[in-house]
Structure 1
Amino acid sequence: MGDRLTQLQDAVDQFATQMVASIHYLNRHHDLELLGPKDQINQATKQNAEEDQKEIDPHPSDSFNASQLELARDLITKEQQIEYLISILPGLLNSEQDQDRTIKELEEELKVAEAQRQDAVREKEVTMKKLDEVIRSIRRP
């Protein structure tokens, strides 16, 4: 799993994808209804009307409403996940001094780890020299 910022970016990307998919679903499966008394459905030509029918596939009202509710819940859940990821980002509750102290502590840990690594490299070189001497001292009978 990536760092928090990468997780946040992935969540925002997923949220945008969910929004587009939700809008597409709503646009594709709604009922053609007039919203006001002066509204009209334009059907310029029979061909355009047939193309519109291909683009819109109305779902039954109860199924459509249930799908709307599920899409809304999914969007809310993803939005809450994004808010959580934002809330755990470093720096929101830490002062600049806290962050500086943490960085210095990590630098000290890195120095200790580097010293241990260098000691291990020196030990390996000494062991390799000893092994080389032992191998060279062995004579065939």
Structure 2
Amino acid sequence: MPKKLSVLLMPLLVITVCLYAGVYMYLAPAVWLTVLLYLPFALVVVLVLLAWHFNKGRLLIISFLLGIPLYQLFFSLEGSLSLGYLMVVILNLSIVSLIQERGFFNRFAINRIAFMGMLFAWCIAFEKGWISFFS
């Protein structure tokens, strides 16, 4: 098998298994469905622990970026993800892809996390109507 095709084999297998599992989801026990709701949060925690173990600051930022919209999606009153959060996550992921790896906890990682927090605070203030661009 050529090298290019073997690289695509695992993602294709994962997509096939997910599609198959989605079709037969009604056969799963109720306990599994309850655990399945909290699986993304467990994966974010595992991602943070891996970032800490391997001293990867970009992975820490990405785990926070994936965890905040999950929290907003599951625990907001509307139960839906707003466009503002999605745009801030996409903006931050594009910024993280351009920065250099500098480690887990240092002044660079703290500055990046503070910048992300500022963007999310701006997003919350805009959605609650505390700030407006069209006065």
Q: TM-score, normalised by structure 2?
A: 0.28
Instruction: With a CA cutoff of 8 Å and minimum separation of 6, indicate the structure with the bigger relative contact order.
Output: 1
TM-score by length of 1: 0.27
Structure of higher CA gyration radius? 1
